Amino acid sequence: MAQLSKILKWYEETKDKGEAIRLISKKSRITQGGLIKILLKNGYKIPKDFEIIEEWEEGYEEPNLEEEMFTSIAIQKFLGYRISDKRNELFNTVFSKYPPIANERITKENITIIHGDAHLWNFLCPKDINNEKLKACLIDWATWGIGVGCQDLSNMIGMFFYPDYRQLVEKNLIKRYHDTLLKFGIKNYSWDDCWYDYKLFTLSNLHRIAVWWSIGLPLTDLWRWLESSFCTIEDLNCLELLESK
């Protein structure tokens, strides 16, 4: 299997094996336990620090790499009749057309450091909101990376806000973000560019949910996030960004 060969080669060529496991797991969307079982089965040694993960996942079924690598296929099989034909078609459109467009955007100008998981649960806010010396703090930077700032906004607002509330505050929040960028000297990034980015990366919420589903997050949360994401995509007509491509 081509994907398996790439994973094994990546692990073999990376000097720091612990870092290799973390990176491969993150990039390929395979759990660390599943990846470790694959490595052991193919005769590779793993760092002692990771042996406990193997013990924790003793009952872990060896993953189907094709489905693990393409979580969209797996989650669509699971959802099946549980969502409408219209939304199944939306899934198909996003997963088939979105990745190359998003990748192209990320390689262009106006990129920055992003948190990668900037939902409201990862914010610590001061109890005394009137004390200007106290600031909100964004924690848990485990998934940070380089990308487009609106990726964090589309995750927090488009997935975690209920539709009625989101519709009330959404555009004002994005506009405030854009105004702040201009205030701090960012140039060549128009309001239309910012709004485009927000809509484009709202589509990535479906992939994010697919990944979370694949690692076993509670369905009670995933259904809520899925509904919010569908509503955001439909309300903002985000699919129009894919139709011309």
Mean of the pLDDT values across residues 114-121? Answer: 90
Higher pLDDT among residues 179 and 147, named by residue: 179
What are the extents of the domains in the chain?
A: 2-67, 71-243
For residue 49, what pLDDT is reported?
63
Does CATH place domain 71-243 in 3.40.50? Answer: no
pTM of this structure: 0.70
Q: Give the separation between CA 28 and CA 38, rounded to whole angstroms.
A: 13
Over range 124-138, report the average pLDDT: 88
- Minimum mean pLDDT among 36-40, 118-122, 146-150, 153-157: which range? 36-40
Q: Who contacts 202 (Cβ-Cβ below 8 Å, separation ≥6)?
A: 154, 158, 229, 232, 233, 236, 238
Please state which of the ranges 15-29, 107-121, 197-211, 219-233 shows the lowest mean pLDDT: 15-29
Q: Give the Cα separation of 241 and 245 in Å (integer).
A: 8
Instruction: Specify whether the CB–CB gap between 101 and 241 falls below 8 A.
Output: yes
Distance between CA atoms of 157 and 128, rounded to whole angstroms?
Answer: 24
Question: Of all residues in the chain, what percent carry a pLDDT higher than 90?
Answer: 38
Helix (H, G, I), strand (E, B) or coil at 147: strand
Q: In the predicted model, what is the mean pLDDT of the chain?
A: 83
